[in-house]
Structures are given as structure tokens and as C-alpha cells.
């Protein structure tokens, strides 16, 4: 990818780029719909990334050519306008930086990527953090990881108009090769959690996208708020399983089951961290399976194809566990698989899934990778 980035830049600008930036996608291993309940998540940055090759410009313009999309991006930093296409993630970061008082200067470059778009691997946060990194090196100011994650979230919330949490940007800036990252969504404190070398993370894309993802998401948020209010808590994070068992009988059926998912899922994330710290991948897999069941039965965010894909994955030799990852109503399943079984695992699941649904399940075997970084030329 790096050689390709340099080549594409040279073809476009006739010189070598000044900087090359790599910004990864991510997958969440466990902890779904816990973020807005002030709970815990355990994502990892993956070895699929957006690459930016750039150089400084003498004016106040940003000019960018994406190898993925046909239309180029060009805008002035002195007069930021909302762009309809993919450029909104870059202009939005410039806007959020200016709002926070960071100096922004012009640059130009090319962008390539091997993160599938819209699959839930967070290509958008990768693009935002790549852009933020570009502004920081061109502007010669320090890239403060948490502040930049917030810039990315503000871009999504206030410029793009997507009501997303801060997990994607946090992992995009703080990922560390070989590790997943525990994020406490209440205070944004983090802890690196080593993943054993003999297992791989395999992402299987169900090829289903549900049209009412957004409304489903909003309904779940409201149900969680209702449940938290019932327990007299600001967030479900503060309700213990014991409280839940003692007091939930009078709560309506839906909010009760939504609450049970969130409360048990938070516990599972912390148990997963302990399991991985001890190298206990069997326990980790079991927790992933339980997480899937909880999303299917209590949180009700899975659909038939996703349940099938998770079932097929879970019953394969060498698969330690598998679950829906992402917001739900379609999207991807993430599986933890023994290295030596990965090939056969992927082939078998894809074959049966295609037979049963007529759909192709693309598979991405991923390793935990670093967060956004400037890549030296001589590596
Ligand atoms: P996800 O973040 O799950 O991949 P989103 O819909 O949030 O899906 O973000 C995808 C959008 O991010 C794309 O539609 C595009 O606007 C932008 N994007 C992602 N990758 C690239 C790329 N390589 N070049 C240009 N824009 C990209
Ligand atoms: Mg996104």
C-alpha cells in the first residue's frame, strides 16, 4: 500500500510526497450498544487502512484525489462549505479544528484504502483521523490523540449528521499492534489488551444492510434511557446485575430485556479483558457467543442472515467464538479463530452461507494494528 501511495502521488504531482499517513479501520470484539450507556467496549484497529500521501501547499486550499472515488476534492480553508460526497469528512475535520482554534494550512495529496466502505469497519473515522493527522503535521502542532478523536466525533455529529459515539475515533488514534483496546466510554480511559498470537480475528460480511438501521438504533437508545430512569440511574452503566435481578420485575418487557443486554454485556467486556490477559481464548470465545445470544434474544438487533452466519461460524472447527459486530440489523460477524483453521473456516462458512442465502459473505482476516501514524519513507 505504501509503494502504491507514493506511486499514485508521483503520477499526480510529479514529485515524491512529503508525508505518508496510515489510518486504520477497526472491528469491535465485544461490547455492543454499551458506548452510549457509558459502558465498556473492546475494539481493535485492523491491518486495513486509509493511506494518505501528501505535501504542503503555499495557499489555503486542500486538494485531494481518492483512488476509490472518481470525483476529486478541492476546497478553501478560508471558506468551508459542506460537501455532499466523501469530501465532507475532510472539510468537516477542518471545520471542527477551526472551531477549536487549531491553525489549518493547505495541503494536497492522494488517498487510497483497503477498508471496505460501509461494511461497519469504520472507514469514515479512519478518513477523519487521517485528515486530522495531515492538518497536524502540515500545521506543525501536536496531535493530541483524545482531542483529535473528539474532533472526529464532532465532525460526524455536527458536520456529517451521524449520531455516533467516540469509539471509532478513539481506536483509530490509540490502536497498538498486537492489542485490542478497552475503552471506558464514561471517562474515555483506555487499556491495551494483548491478543494471543495463535488466534486470528476473521470478519465476515453478511452482505445485508438494513434500511431502518438508524431508527432501530434510536429506538434502542430510548429504551435504554427509559430503563436507566426506572433504576434511578443516569446511565445503565451504574445498574448492577444484582439491582437488575432484584428490581426489574416491574419494568416493561422491552426495556427490561434491553437493560439486561447492556448490563450483562458490560460484564462480558470486563471478563473478556481478564480472559485475554490470561491468554484464555476459550473463555474469550465463549463470551463472544454469549454476547451474540444476548444481542439476538434481549437486544433484538440481529437479523436472520446474521444469526445464520454467527451459527455457521460458531460450529466450525477452530472457531472459538463468533458474534455480530457493529450496530446491528445487518453488517458483519466477527469470529475468533485458531490460526491453522482460518482458511478452512472461512471457506466452509462462505460456502454454506451462499448455499442457504444466495449471498456472498466476504471474509477479512485481520491482525491488530497500530492507530493512525506517519509512516517513514525508508521502512
Ligand atoms: P463505515 O465508516 O462503516 O465504513 P460510513 O458510511 O460511516 O461507513 O462511511 C463511509 C464513507 O466514508 C464513504 O461513503 C466515503 O464518503 C468515506 N470514505 C471511506 N473510505 C474512503 C476512501 N478511500 N476515499 C474517499 N472516501 C472514503
Ligand atoms: Mg462510519
pLDDT value of position 73: 94
Pocket test for ligand 1, best of 46, 71, 117 (most atoms within 8 A of CB): 117
Sheet with 319-325, edge to edge strand ranges: 319-325, 330-338, 199-209, 362-366
At residue 229, the pLDDT reads 97
What pLDDT, on the 0 to 100 scale, is given for residue 348? Answer: 98
Residue tagged active-site, from 35, 47, 168, 298: 168
Q: Give the contacts of 77 (CB within 8 A, at least 6 positions apart).
A: 60, 61, 62, 94, 98, 104, 105, 106
Nearest CA to ligand 1 atom 14: 86
Note the pLDDT of residue 251. 94
pLDDT, position 94: 98
Query: 331 with 359: CB under 8 angstroms?
Result: no
pLDDT for residue 379: 62
The per-residue pLDDT for range 263-315, each reduced to its tens digit, is 999 999 999 999 999 999 999 999 999 999 999 999 999 999 999 999 999 99
Question: Residue 84: what pLDDT?
Answer: 84
Q: How many CB atoms lie within 10 A of CB 171?
A: 31
How far does Cα 92 stand from its chain's mean position? 19
Q: Which of 67, 186, 79, 86 is nearest to 128 (CA)?
A: 86
Q: Name the DSSP class of 177.
A: T
| C-beta 51 within 6 A of ligand 1 | no
Residues in the chain where the model's pLDDT stays below 70: 210-214, 378-379
- What is the reported pLDDT for 352? 98
Q: Are 39 and 188 in contact (CB under 8 A)?
A: no
Nearest CA to ligand 1 atom 7: 124
Cα–Cα distance for residue pair 97/128, rounded to 1 Å: 11
- Active-site residue 307, yes or no? no
pLDDT of res. 213 = 58
**Distance from the alpha carbon of residue 118 to the mean position of ligand 1, in angstroms:** 6
Is pTM, for the whole model, over 0.85?
Answer: yes
CA-to-CA distance for 332 and 122, rounded, in angstroms? 12
Query: pLDDT value at position 315?
Result: 98
Nearest ligand (C-alpha, residue 72) = 1
Q: Please work out whether the CB of residue 163 comes within 6 Å of at least one atom of ligand 1.
A: no
Q: Pocket of ligand 1, candidates 65, 86, 171: which has the most ligand atoms within 8 Å of its Cβ, to mutate? A: 86
Amino acid at each position: 500500500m505504501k509503494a502504491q501511495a507514493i506511486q499514485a502521488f508521483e503520477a499526480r504531482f510529479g514529485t515524491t510526497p512529503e508525508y505518508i499517513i496510515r489510518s486504520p479501520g477497526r472491528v469491535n470484539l465485544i461490547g455492543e450498544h454499551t458506548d452510549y450507556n457509558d459502558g465498556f467496549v473492546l475494539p481493535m484497529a485492523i491491518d486495513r487502512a486509509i493511506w494518505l500521501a501528501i505535501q504542503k501547499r503555499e495557499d489555503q486550499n486542500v486538494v485531494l484525489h481518492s483512488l476509490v472515488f472518481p470525483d476529486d476534492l478541492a476546497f478553501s480553508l478560508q471558506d468551508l462549505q459542506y460537501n455532499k460526497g466523501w469530501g465532507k469528512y475532510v472539510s468537516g475535520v477542518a471545520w471542527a479544528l477551526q472551531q477549536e482554534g487549531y491553525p489549518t494550512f493547505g495541503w494536497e495529496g492522494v488517498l487510497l484504502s483497503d477498508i471496505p466502505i460501509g461494511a461497519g469497519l469504520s472507514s469514515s473515522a479512519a478518513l477523519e483521523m487521517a485528515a486530522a493527522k495531515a492538518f497536524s503535521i502540515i500545521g506543525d502542532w501536536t496531535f493530541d490523540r483524545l482531542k483529535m478523536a473528539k474532533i472526529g466525533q464532532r465532525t460526524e455529529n455536527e458536520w456529517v449528521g451521524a449520531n455516533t459515539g467516540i469509539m471509532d475515533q478513539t481506536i483509530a488514534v490509540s490502536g497498538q499492534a498486537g492489542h485490542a483496546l478497552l475503552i471506558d466510554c464514561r471517562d474515555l480511559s483506555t487499556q491495551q489488551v494483548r491478543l494471543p498470537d495463535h488466534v486470528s480475528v476473521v470478519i465476515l460480511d453478511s452482505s445485508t444492510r438494513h434500511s431502518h438501521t438508524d431508527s432501530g438504533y434510536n429506538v434502542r437508545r430510548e429504551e435504554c434511557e427509559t430503563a436507566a430512569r426506572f433504576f434511578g440511574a443516569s446511565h445503565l452503566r451504574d445498574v448492577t446485575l444484582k439491582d437488575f435481578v432484584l428490581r426489574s420485575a416491574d419494568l416493561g418487557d422491552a426495556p427490561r430485556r434491553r437493560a439486561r443486554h447492556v448490563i450483562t454485556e458490560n460484564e462480558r467486556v470486563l471478563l473478556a479483558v481478564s480472559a485475554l490477559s490470561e491468554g484464555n481464548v476459550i473463555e474469550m470465545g465463549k463470551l463472544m457467543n454469549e454476547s451474540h445470544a444476548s444481542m439476538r434474544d434481549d437486544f433484538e438487533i440481529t437479523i436472520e442472515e446474521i444469526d445464520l452466519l454467527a451459527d455457521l461460524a460458531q460450529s466450525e472447527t477452530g472457531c472459538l467464538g463468533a458474534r455480530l459486530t457493529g450496530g446491528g440489523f445487518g453488517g458483519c460477524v466477527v469470529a475468533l479463530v485458531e490460526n491453522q483453521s482460518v482458511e478452512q473456516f472461512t471457506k466452509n462458512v462462505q460456502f454454506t452461507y451462499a448455499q442457504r442465502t444466495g449471498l456472498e459473505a466476504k471474509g477479512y482476516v485481520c491482525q491488530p494494528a497500530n492507530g493512525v501514524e506517519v509512516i517513514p519513507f525508508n521502512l
